[in-house]
Structure 1
């Protein structure tokens, strides 16, 4: 007999799932019954929050949904923070959980791991939360979730399977995955968009995370239109060092002016959210004279007034526009000048401290070219989100945007390394953020992942202390004592290097670390930063 739990695993295989992240428990034993023989790789984190963040990092690099398998109650609630981060950044994540037996749900019987209403809890962050109650539910619910991932704005989905239901017989054939494809813009809308862009004298392109899989096509479109391309944090790495690339936050005044002065703005796969477009919380983003907005999410298209809204996949829309637009579509060659002026003014605007940090990021990039850089909320990452030109499309992402979950970096880097084992992976985290998920280092050890964990150690929450001082609030709670990271590395059995904030020291430490075939830690002693000289 095949059980519903076993059929679940077979259905995941049919949907090209090859990795799951989870911690087994008595409430998921039946979901594990078919796992060992399935060919799916199981990764055991040290906490369910780590499972969720690993699934997130895996999804961003692989392009496939990240899957977490957790127990009912605390397993599910521990995963809520990663689910919220995934929702904020449109990352496809499937959280599969157990739940108590079907007849006992909602009765408050004091059962192990019982929640009054687990689906209600999950629904607070998940796009959908569903329950399998018999064999007829399994395939439709999985099809629903995977169709959502492919055809609408992706994010976290939750499916729970009760203890008793997981043991029920599954007497149906294992169905293939449902055919899915993202929505496409109509010919009329594409023609109208091409007409607006063709006649534009000073166009600007805003590229978000939804466009980051289309680097070559985006570059070709920018050149065709002579349009500067402003990259949000989740689009960094595209068009590296290109004359039309503006790798700077659209919250900066210089970039806001570029957008405001444009006669047509083409926004591709970007939610126009505060943490990208209004990080200083002024209450508004740069006004736009004429906005063509392309997004896969219908309600997202309604969140900001657009001259023309196209519900469509950014990549296919870019390709369609390239077919419709004539070569050198009416541009006069000023796009390069506008982009260069904006880059220079934006870099000047961020101030000396942030410029120094950006230059250190440049040092890191040159020391480890083509790396996937996964970041936590820390000074280097804040600076990079303001201004940084990465050299790998899709290779710069972090949790210092959107939901802003601290502790993201270490587990997300593990997920990224599993998704792309041939790429160098750097995790950039602070001493404070690292302590949220430090035990996950052992997952990198178990899986022999050659990740370099770069810890920016400024001995506390320096950025928050700065904000408190600026607000004339007595600084308190910002000086948690960091552990001895060399001892942490020794306890994990991995190499350790320490350096200062001089560029030469950092580059040498990273180059030496990259010679390792296992995880390692590079600690940057940033106790003297910000510099006083």
Structure 2
């Protein structure tokens, strides 16, 4: 049935038809026709204070719900503001849809100085998204949205951008019938490849599994496979918690550990990698894993079979269907126990190699874990307390989530991501974990967190600046430059007081016990609570003689 409507209404209608009930964004002069129709189609809206925050919130919403996150921007600078979040979603395979207005359909090629005019929004977003689609008719809008959902359902999920020219947003024209993406039909690997993989795993003396974010929907099957094989299980940052990190076979997030990589190379005679790139961001080195047995890669993306470390046996398909096929081909379980005993010793060896660096965070992380429910969501930042501390040392199970900006490695993710996670699951505990440098990339989102009127602790380890970069400069023998926040002679920012200024709450935790008390209260107090954990005083080098 053909219906006349504006492009803005056609866009919102198409989003609602695909099950969208929540959007994030900021109204602007050029996108008001989109906002006009949100209420009528039952789409709630949350307005962060910056488009980058909207992107991170929509990203976390998608990770927690398993449904695509939607962000609305206006033209020009607003769209560029969200580009970093789009890049992060691309890196972490998150289904994020950004919708925006664009220059009018009949806009001249030569610049005219129209508000927010830029040379090509689609080219800019195409550089960080899976695709950027500029529609040319009102009727095409529905097809563009269906195209995005087809990507999300049938391919490796990655962000997409749809641009609707300004004149089409307000123009009334035939919109055509609602276009719906086809339902997903899980892809299954070939029977021959599955049989070869099952045989390799069955015949291995010491098989092991590496689980990435692409394995999350197959968590029960992956556990059954690990137990049936009596195999070590290592996860990437995005796969954290797919197998409970308290499970006897779990080595947790450990691909970056030299001792774990060495033991895999020396002892593992068959490795199954499910839903992971095995990338530098997983290994923390450009050196690929050294393996003495076959590498079996299972991934929805066929390109992963040849990227980085090529597969000896390639299983292209849905993770759950793939692991189920392997389980069916394994036959009787082997005797359990040997891998669990060696895993415990290997975990201790892994922790010993970084004890001097990581010990400062461990008591605080234990206090954090004891206060959190099993299904709590922890959002993370590119901060030392997160990638050195929480990633390997904060146990998470499949009922909980740990959201980390892997790969692209953006700063400022934790707070707006926590807002998106809380919007997705208001009944679950959500805690943001950050450093003082990363928090200040998006600290304005405290105002958004106040709007939620829901408990949202923000735990900030304050080391007085960009600690990682300060350490790297020192390791090079350089005098640290521009890494102290604030610089010498300037009073430090009181982050807890800043939270109160936004209408939230603030606390200071100088000991693990004080963190536990502050967190206990914050989880029961509506609004954000910034809990500052001071780290060792920054040792500032003396100024050189002039």
TM-score (norm 1): 0.94
State yes or no: 1:266 paired with 2:269.
no
State the 1:282 CA deviation. 4.7
How far off its partner does 1:385 sit?
Answer: 5.8
Query: How far apart are the structure 1 equivalents of 2:286 and 2:161?
Result: 35
- Report how many residues are paired: 525
User: Judging changes above 3 Å, is the alpha-carbon distance between structure 1 residues 294 and 242 closer, same or farther for their aligned structure 2 residues?
Assistant: same
Match of 1:469 among 471, 474, 478: 474
Residue of structure 1 equivalent to 2:514: 505
Distance in structure 1 (CA, Å) of the matches to 2:286 and 2:103: 47
Classify the secondary structure of the residue corresponding to 2:272.
strand
SS, match of residue 253 in structure 2: coil
Alignment partner of 1:423 is 2:433: no
- In the TM superposition, residue 389 of structure 1 has moved relative to its aligned partner by 4.5
Q: Show the 5 A alignment for 1:296-311.
A: 296-303=300-307, 304-311=309-316
Task: Note closer, same or farther for the CA distance 1:461–1:80 as it changes in structure 2 (3 Å cut).
Answer: same
The match for 1:230 among 234, 238, 247 is 234
Question: Following the alignment from structure 2 to structure 1, what is the Cα–Cα distance between the partners of residues 151 and 32?
Answer: 28
Aligned to 1:324: 329
Residue 144 of structure 1 is matched in structure 2 by 147
* Pairs within 5 Å for 1:339-354: 339-354=343-358
State the partner residue of 2:159: 156
For 1:15-55, what per-residue CA distance to the aligned partner results, in whole angstroms no more than 9, with x for missing partners?
A: 11111111111111122231121111111111111111111
The 2-side partners of 1:389 and 1:206 are apart by 19
Asked if the contact 1:372–1:395 (Cα under 8 Å) also holds between the matched residues in 2, the reply is yes
Counterpart residue number, 1:45: 48
Farther off after superposition, 211-220 or 79-88: 211-220
CA shift for structure 1 position 386:
5.5
**Which structure 1 segments of 5+ residues have no match?**
none
CA distance in 2, matches of 1:285, 1:385: 23
- Distance (Å, rounded) in 2 between the aligned partners of 1:170 and 1:521: 51
Residue matched to 1:334: 338
Could you give the per-residue CA deviations for residues 238-266 of structure 1, whole angstroms, max 9, x where no partner exists?
Answer: 32311100113212111102321211000
CA RMSD of aligned residues (A): 1.8
Deviation at 1:315, TM superposition (A): 2.1
- In 2: Cα distance, 1:384 partner to 1:292 partner: 30
Post-superposition Cα deviations, 1:405-440, rounded to whole Å, max 9, x if no partner, equal 111111011011111111100101111111111111
- 1:519 and 2:528 aligned: yes
1:181 is matched with 185
TM-aligned CA distance change 1:287 to 1:108, over 3 Å: farther
2:135 to 125, 129, 132: 132
Residue of structure 2 equivalent to 1:286: 290
Alignment partners' CA distance in 2, 1:105 and 1:83: 28
Q: Is 2:453–2:527's contact at 8 Å kept on the other side of the alignment? A: yes
1:147 CA drift (Å): 1.2
Three-state SS of the structure 2 residue aligned to 1:265 is strand
Task: Work out whether residues 446 and 502 of structure 2, in 8 Å CA contact, stay in contact via their aligned partners in 1.
Answer: yes
State how far apart, in whole Å, the 2-side matches of 1:105 and 1:203 are.
62
Kept in 2: contact 1:248–1:255 (CA 8 A): no
Counterpart contact for 2:8–2:34, Cα < 8 Å? yes
Alignment correspondent of 2:123: 120
- 1:24 pairs with one of 14, 27, 44: 27
Candidates 38, 55, 58, aligned match of 2:61 = 58
Q: Which residue of 1 aligns with 2:543?
A: none
Contact 1:452–1:513 (8 Å) recurs in 2: yes
Q: What does residue 9 of structure 1 align with?
A: 12
* Cα shift at 1:305: 1.5
Conservation of the 8 A alpha-carbon contact between 1:265 and 1:288: no
Distance 1:254 1:181 in 2: 40
Q: What is the TM-score of this pair, normalised by structure 2? A: 0.92
Aligned to 1:488: 498
Distance apart, 1:359 and its partner CA? 4.0
* Greater mean alpha carbon deviation, residues 105-114 or residues 438-447: 105-114
Which whole-Å CA distance do the structure 2 matches of 1:227 and 1:120 have between them?
46
Separation in 2, partners of 1:151, 1:44: 30
Give the counterpart of 1:368 among 366, 372, 392. 372
Q: Are residue 407 (structure 1) and residue 412 (structure 2) matched?
A: yes
Q: How far is the alpha carbon of 1:231 from its aligned partner?
A: 1.1
Q: Distance in 2 between matches of 1:166 and 1:386?
A: 44
Alignment of 1:73 with 2:76, yes or no, is yes
Q: In 2, distance between residues paired with 1:44 and 1:386? A: 30
For structure 2, the residue ranges without an aligned partner over 5 or more in a row are 487-491, 540-546
* Matches of 1:411 and 1:397, distance apart in 2: 12
Find the aligned partners of 1:467 and 1:175 in 2 and give their Cα distance.
52
Change (3 A) 1:414 1:72: same
